[in-house]
Structure 1
Amino acid sequence: MDYNDSPTATFTADPHSFSQPQKARITHVDWQLEVDFNTKTIHGSGIYHLAHSETDEIVLDVRNLQILAVYLDDESQATDFRLGEEKPFLGQGLHIPLLPQTRSLRLEFKTTPGSAALQWLEPTQTAGKTQPFLFTQSQAILARTWLPCQDSPGIRFTYTAKVTVPAHLLPLMSADNPQQKNENGTYFFKMENPIPSYLLSLAVGDLVFSPIGDRCGVYAEPSSIEAAAYEFADTEKMLLAAEELYGPYLWGRYDLLVLPPSFPFGGMENPKLTFATPTIIAGDRSLTSLVAHELAHSWSGNLVTNATWNDFWLNEGFTVYFERRIMEALYGPEYAEMLHTLGYQDLLHTLDDLSSSPLDTCLKLNLENRDPDEGLTEIAYEKGNYFLRHLERLVGRERFDGFVKKYFSTFRFQSMDTAGFEQFLEKELLNGNEELRRQVNTQGWIHSPGLPAGTPAMHAALFEKVLQELHKWLAGTPAQELVTQGWSTHEWLFFLTNLPDTLGMAQLEELDHAFGFTLSHNAEIQAEWYRHAIRHGYTAAYAALEEFLVRVGRRKFLLPLYKALLQTPEGKSLAQQIYQKARPNYHAVSTSSLDALLRV
């Protein structure tokens, strides 16, 4: 029986949703959405198709969303509804009474200035500087701020949407998408595979399309499309490599959308249409492992989804592992090991940062009464990946690949919690082998803080050459005489992240003069260099630092840089001065973290 129609589907209790899907749930929605840039609102209505047992209500999640009317089935008379108590970051439960024969609801609603998923950009905040832009970010629990929904990753539904926008703009969704504008500004979207609400997305802007393969293409503003198409040219190769590893891609097309720089993440794996930050367009395709990561989510996350945000590692640990297998298939094992090593460095930093809250370094989290965004750390990504590499080493790659492939095929279009994964692991891989069970040590990896004792460090062979050059420089060799030709972004990042904390001003000036870090066009290199500049008071980089912080909204870069500023004597006032200027350019996902940090 199809998941959507099953009256007996089971659900993991989700502390971040008011919905009670075991009693009543959404199976399909037909939305009509009108995007109004003048008022910065979305006016919407939706017909919600339901599955329910013997219950007298359905509960949806809403937050800072205006509910205008609710109708049962085809009734013309609006029905009563009740909004529950408002709770921080969760919003409210929308309680709608049902009759035994009720099979659908029609809801009318409107977004508000508090709809945190939405970012409305002025023309000056876009690449082209002439047209406005709108994009959504629904993960983790922000879908409820722009659409009434059951906002839990454990609840899946299909949808259609009729979207009306100004005729000179193009809308795109996590669905089948148009490739060019029409004359009337009305578009129809369809998602036939069941998805959770956090994968709902909408973007509207002056966008054009360029194909980069039989099943892949890229959308961007006209001024950015050529650079984006060049940067993502290997996407189709990545897709073929992914299918070779873990089975067919089940979503039809795989396209990318390059968003304005205020997008708070590197990428967002919206089905059929990855949202991507322009900070990965470096001109040399050196940062496209992010594309492999978002593509891998088409299996780990979009196909088999964490049941709750406490199980977030099941999405991201698998995706990081899969991403690096794709990169290995395309560029070789030494290249992939560089990515693993940089990730390991990030993991060690995160373990240190979270030393005062050790339970947050377990893979299986407890985020009840907390914003699930607090669980979006390198623990889920890199410790999760490390655990899967640990399994691979124990049983061999061939056997482990068979296990992962069966995991994706067995649970496709379903949700998975940590307990369910452990049961599958026991059945398919451990299979009663006590010695293997002891070596795997799920208690130590999944349910205990930090890394298990005796866990080997990661180190890439290509980074040995980087360390040799770094040591030569520290021993007195001029920076301009170092052998750095052909270094990728990853080698430069390893060089920068391993600089000592005791650099003098003359050393910083020498490095900057030799390699041009301050004015680099590579966002990863800029962000790492600016951390050193802040730590050592290298004020020659401060103008570029400010320009970077005002222009770029990617939270991965913002939080470390603002934190670094706050740790210097003169940095607090500078951080607040820059933030006051930059804040209008940031999405709510970023400002929610930064407001607390800077006490705005």
Structure 2
Amino acid sequence: MIYILLCVALAIGAEIDVNTFSNYIEVSQEHVHIEWLLDLDEQYINATSQSIFRVNTNKLKKIDLDIYQLSIIAVYLSSSGNVLQHEIINKGDQSLLQGDVLSIQLDRVYTRGEYIKLNIKYNLDSKGARALGFLTKEQTYSKAVPYLFSQCEDNNCRSIIPLQDTPSIKVFFTATVLVKDPRINVFMTGNKLYNTKFKLLNNYENLQALTLYQFELDIKIPAYLIGIIAGEVVEKSTGNGTYVIAEPHFIDEYAQELSDLPVYMKKMQDYIGPYIWGDYKIVILPASFPFGGMEHPLLTFASPTIIVGDKSGVGTAIHEIAHSWVGNTVTGRNWANFWINEGFCVFLERKILSRLNGLDSVKLDAINGNSSAFTSMQTFGLDNSFSSMHPNTTNRNPDESTSRVPYEKGYQLLTYLESLIKEDPFQQFLRDYIENFKFQSIDEDQLYQFLLSWVRKNKQEEAQRIIEEIQKIWKKWVYTPGLAPITIDLSTPLFTDANNLAKAWIDGKGQAPEKANDFQQYKPNQKSVFFQYLIDNYKDVETAVMTKMDEKYKLTFYKDQKTVYKWYRLVLLVKYDQALEGVHDFVSKVGVSSYLKVLYDLLGQNYNKQAYDWFDENKTFYHPVVVQAIEKILQKYPKKLIVE
């Protein structure tokens, strides 16, 4: 099947998605409607999906959809109710990595241009739905009702809906969600409807006792942007069509921290153009949410790690706002083109942050990001395609390739292009790019060809020189693993000052340096540079230095989680046992995947018993995606038998 799709794709000049088993080129999903009855106490969902497909070939006899650990009950035509034969094709060693195929035999041969409407009845639960995080009521602040949240990116939506789980396909999305407990509020991707619009697909006993929610999104999105939260949550306006959603206990604190959302939205629109999605809502999730943020339209998710108390963590909110243009409106066609979402997004994020915080601060963000990307490259291997902007995820779960690499190398490429084209014309290029590819999924070559065409049209006498420079570096920048072929200028005295202070601590061998108090004035990104110098030179950091720093700065149990994460990396490298309980506390309260993967890797190497003990202790707290990632990491460090 992959070979056939490859031939078709090559014929039309587009990259295929190697991480879907669906026949999405022959038939494309146009609309997905779901009807879910939630049982959060039992962590179980009774589900029905209704989809509309458009036929793109002259002889279509079957529809293949992606599924992961779903219990399929029946497939039938929506119009007649006639049951269709279906088969679940087990994909062998790919089954637990990427799922299986739901192959549906159609009632006749369909031809190009026809539409097919199907219903699928199925069930899902916490054991198989790796996109969902189920929290018991005891894991919430109020301890009143359970909590549910999703994380479909990369290809985890197939674990909650049978569909074409590929960024190449965009669908209109609607939903009906029913809950048994009226205290449970529900939000999903899309606009919440306050009058019932969609007829129920099923009959329910005691329907009047259920609370019903409906949602609709009238702009097409890829499957990975479908999101849900359900629990005791409320929303609060922060003005001008922006809202914060959280558990009631935290709503005022979080809304205050994010009170500048209207400012961020205005600055982003001033730079890149109108916001087309309606309201902007950001959910601050419980601590087990596995990422810094997730850009579902009208329902951005963010980790509580962004709530620091001084608004210094809001870069994540600006990043997710930027996705409304790059990622959500223009989308990378497959996971090899993920950088088209994230590289552009980081570029926009830092443009706005430079206007808010100054260019030197943004340079520090870029330095820190590049350091994280290089750490990932070292982990993957500098010659591994995962260390490039275009990872080969064939027969792999694309989650495995997730790192800062596409973010930072993509940002650096766009920054270099801006230096060639110049700032104001490059801003116009970005606006024209979004308008040209609006609502489409594209690959790097489509972007490349558009860029060259735009330069020819808009740069006149400079065009040939700029085009030659772009042609020299483009494919190498995108496809070659390792650092970018050209180093952009990130020099700033803030970086030098932080490094000098870190070096002074090492040289002091346990004595506080003369400028030790400068650290207290650093913003989090400068503190990150300070710690990165110590991490890079950890073999020179003596225990006495760690003890004095901890005493001076009160680093263990530090409130800012981005800062304390760096400290705990250093703790595990230096084997500073006195702070180990702080690491234990951190991995028990923070669910962010990127933090946990690094810390468990170091724990596996240097504190094997604690690695296994703490993982077993916190498995039910972590999101299923994180559990899978940590299990794979710990496979490198077999559990050691401890003899008393």
Say whether the 8 Å CA contact 1:463–1:494 is kept in structure 2. yes
Identity %: 29
Query: Which stretch shifts more, 10-19 or 30-39?
Result: 10-19
Per the alignment, do residues 92 and 474 of structure 1 end up closer, same or farther by CA in structure 2, a change over 3 Å counting?
A: closer
Structure 2 gaps, min length 5: 1-10, 195-207, 640-644
Contact in 1 for aligned 2:77/2:117 (Cα 8 Å): yes
Tell me the TM-score normalised to structure 1 length: 0.94
Aligned equivalents of 1:353, 1:597: Cα separation in 2: 11
**1:124 maps onto 2:158 in alignment:** no
Q: Deviations over 1:88-127 (max 9, x none)?
A: 3221222223333653111111113211111111122223
Q: Is the 8 A contact 2:455 2:467 kept in 1?
A: no
Counterpart Cα distance in 1 of 2:578 and 2:159: 42
SS of 1:445's equivalent in the other structure is helix
SS at match of 1:212: strand
Give the equivalent residue in structure 2 for 1:24: 27
Q: Does the aligned pair in 1 maintain the 2:374–2:405 contact within 8 Å?
A: no
Instruction: Look up the match of 2:490.
Output: 458
Q: Distance in 2 between matches of 1:23 and 1:471?
A: 60
Q: Deviations over 1:270-313 (max 9, x none)?
A: 11111111111111111110111111111111111110111111
**Which of the residues 276, 287, 303 maps onto 2:313?**
287
**Counterpart of 2:564 in structure 1: which amino acid?**
Q
Secondary structure of 2:63's match?
strand
Aligned to 1:540: 578
Alpha-carbon separation, structure 2, partners of 1:430 and 1:464: 40
**Distance change (3 Å), C-alpha of 1:183 and 1:385:** farther
Q: Verify: 1:34 aligned to 2:49, yes or no.
A: no
Residues 10 and 351 of structure 1: CA distance in aligned 2, closer, same or farther (over 3 Å): closer
Of 161, 166, 172, 2:187 maps to: 172
Deviation at 1:11, TM superposition (A): 6.2
In 2, Cα distance between the equivalents of 1:356 and 1:447? 12
Alignment of 1:467-478 (within 5 A): 467-476=499-508, 478=512
Alignment partner of 1:444 out of 457, 463, 476: 476
Which residue of structure 1 lines up, in the alignment, with residue 63 of structure 2? Answer: 58
- Contact 2:131 2:159 (8 Å CA) reproduced: yes
In the alignment, the residues of structure 2 paired with residue 91 and residue 359 of structure 1 have an alpha-carbon distance, to the nearest angstrom, of 23
Counterpart position of 1:211: 237
Q: Equivalent of 1:574, from 601, 607, 610?
A: 610
- Identify which of 517, 520, 530 aligns with 1:495: 530
C-alpha distance in 1, partners of 2:209/2:273?
40
Q: Does 1:379 align with 2:383?
A: no
The residue that corresponds to 2:560 in the other structure is: 522
1:590 Cα deviation after fit: 0.6
What is the aligned partner in structure 1 of residue 201 from structure 2?
none
The aligned residue for residue 437 of structure 2 is 411
Indicate the SS of the match to 1:71.
strand
Match for residue 175 of structure 2? 161
What are the ranges of 5 or more consecutive residues in structure 1 without an aligned counterpart?
1-7
Amino acid in structure 1 at the alignment position of 2:104: I
Cα distance in 2 for partners of 1:379, 1:481 equals 33
Aligned to 2:72, which of 67, 71, 75? 67
The answer to whether 1:49 aligns with 2:35 is no
Which amino acid in 2 is paired with 1:448? Answer: T
Q: Could you tell me how far 1:434 is from its partner in structure 2? A: 4.6
How many angstroms apart in 2 are the aligned matches of 1:444 and 1:11? 19
Provide the rounded CA distance (Å) in 2 between the counterparts of 1:10 and 1:212.
45
2:105 maps to which residue? 97
Instruction: Give the partner amino acid of 1:114.
Output: G
1:49-448 equivalent positions in 2, closer than 5 A: 49-53=52-56, 54=58, 55-86=60-91, 87-88=94-95, 89-98=97-106, 99=108, 100=110, 103-112=116-125, 113-165=127-179, 166-177=181-192, 185-355=211-381, 357-429=383-455, 433-440=463-470, 441-448=473-480
CA contact (8 A) 2:30 2:171 kept: yes
Please report how far the alpha carbon of residue 354 of structure 1 lies from its aligned counterpart in structure 2 after TM superposition: 3.0
Answer yes or no: is the 8 Å Cα contact 1:10–1:22 preserved in 2.
no
AA matched with 2:184: L
Asked whether the 8 Å contact 1:318–1:385 carries over to 2, the reply is yes
Distance 1:26 1:11 in 2: 18
- Measure, in 2, the Cα distance between the counterparts of 1:481 and 1:69: 67
Compare 114-123 and 455-464 and name the one that shifted more. Answer: 455-464
Q: Which amino acid aligns with 2:131?
A: A
Counterpart CA distance in 1 for 2:363 and 2:375 is 18
Instruction: Report SS of the residue matched to 2:173.
Output: strand
* Cα 1:485–1:183 shift into 2, 3 Å: farther
Give, in whole Å, the separation in 2 of the partners of 1:481 and 1:520: 17
Aligned length in residues: 589
Q: C-alpha displacement at 1:176, in angstroms?
A: 1.1
Q: Distance in 1 between matches of 2:497 and 2:115?
A: 68
Are the equivalent residues in 2 in contact too, given 1:127–1:224 (CA < 8 A)?
no
State the Cα distance separating 1:537 from its structure 2 match: 2.1
CA distance in 2, matches of 1:233, 1:596: 40
Distance 2:398 2:158 in 1: 14
Counterpart in the other structure of 2:642: none
Q: Give the whole-Å Cα distance in 1 for the aligned partners of 2:277 and 2:256.
A: 24
Deviation string, structure 1 residues 395-446 (Cα, Å, up to 9, x no partner):
1111111111111111111101111111112211266945323422112211
Q: TM-score, normalised by structure 2?
A: 0.87
Q: Report the alpha carbon displacement of residue 178 of structure 1 after superposing the two structures with TM.
A: 7.0
The secondary structure found in structure 2 opposite 1:562 is helix
Structure 1 residues 183, 522: CA separation in 2 closer, same or farther (over 3 Å shift)?
farther
Q: Deviations over 1:452-500 (max 9, x none)?
A: 5452452333223323433444454625853234321111111111123
The partner residue of 1:551 within 584, 589, 610 is: 589
Tell me the C-alpha RMSD between the 2 structures.
Answer: 2.2
Amino acid of the residue matched to residue 594 of structure 1? I
Structure 1 Cα separation of the partners of residues 146 and 521 of structure 2: 40
C-alpha contact 1:280 1:288 (8 A) present in aligned 2: yes
